[in-house]
Amino acid sequence: MAKKLSQGFKAESKHMSEPLKLLCLIGKYVEKVYGNQFYGRAHNLNMKLTKAYDEALKKYDVIIMPTLPYKAPLLPTKDSTIKERLKETLGMVQNTAPFNSTGHPALTINAGKSEGLPIGMMIVGNQFEDAKVIQAAYAFEQLQGK
């Protein structure tokens, strides 16, 4: 499957966004220049991060946090520069990306608006307790009358 996906990216790379192309280039560069030198460090940091969330979730059923670490940006326009698109795109993953590595279930739900822009509320739970996260999101929706 991975080989087919890789071939698809090579054949259809023109359809990839600039941020995705940049991340692919950076990944290839790091792999070529440094090999697996950083893999062990990243794995150790991931274990520390996982432990930190596990500790917090011993006290609480779920953790509630903002989806974005800043106010939601306006969507880019056709006239937006690559630099503007990269800044907005790469800045959005600070609160969400860690859970791709730790394995904690997380979802985001609309918690309202500020000046017409959405505010995302992220709900994070213990590993393998996806249902608890979904129940918390459902309870919030019920309180909001959705």
Which structural domain, as residue segments, surrounds residue 135? 38-144
Domain count, the chain: 1
Concatenate the DSSP letters of all residues of the chain into one string.
-HHHHHHHHHHTGGGS-HHHHHHHHHHHHHHHHHTTTTHHHHHHHHHHHHHHHHHHHHH-SEEEEESSSSPPPPPP-TT--HHHHHHHHHHTTTTTTHHHHH---EEEEEEEEETTEEEEEEEEE-TT-HHHHHHHHHHHHHHHT-
pLDDT digit string, tens, across residues 100-143: 999 999 999 999 998 888 999 999 999 999 999 999 999 999 99
Whether residue 3 lies inside any domain: the answer is no
pLDDT digit string, tens, across residues 50-97: 999 999 999 999 999 999 888 888 778 888 888 888 877 777 888 898
Whether residue 105 lies inside any domain: the answer is yes
Whether residue 17 lies inside any domain: the answer is no
Whether residue 8 lies inside any domain: the answer is no
Whether residue 122 lies inside any domain: the answer is yes
pLDDT digit string, tens, across residues 33-46: 988 888 888 899 99
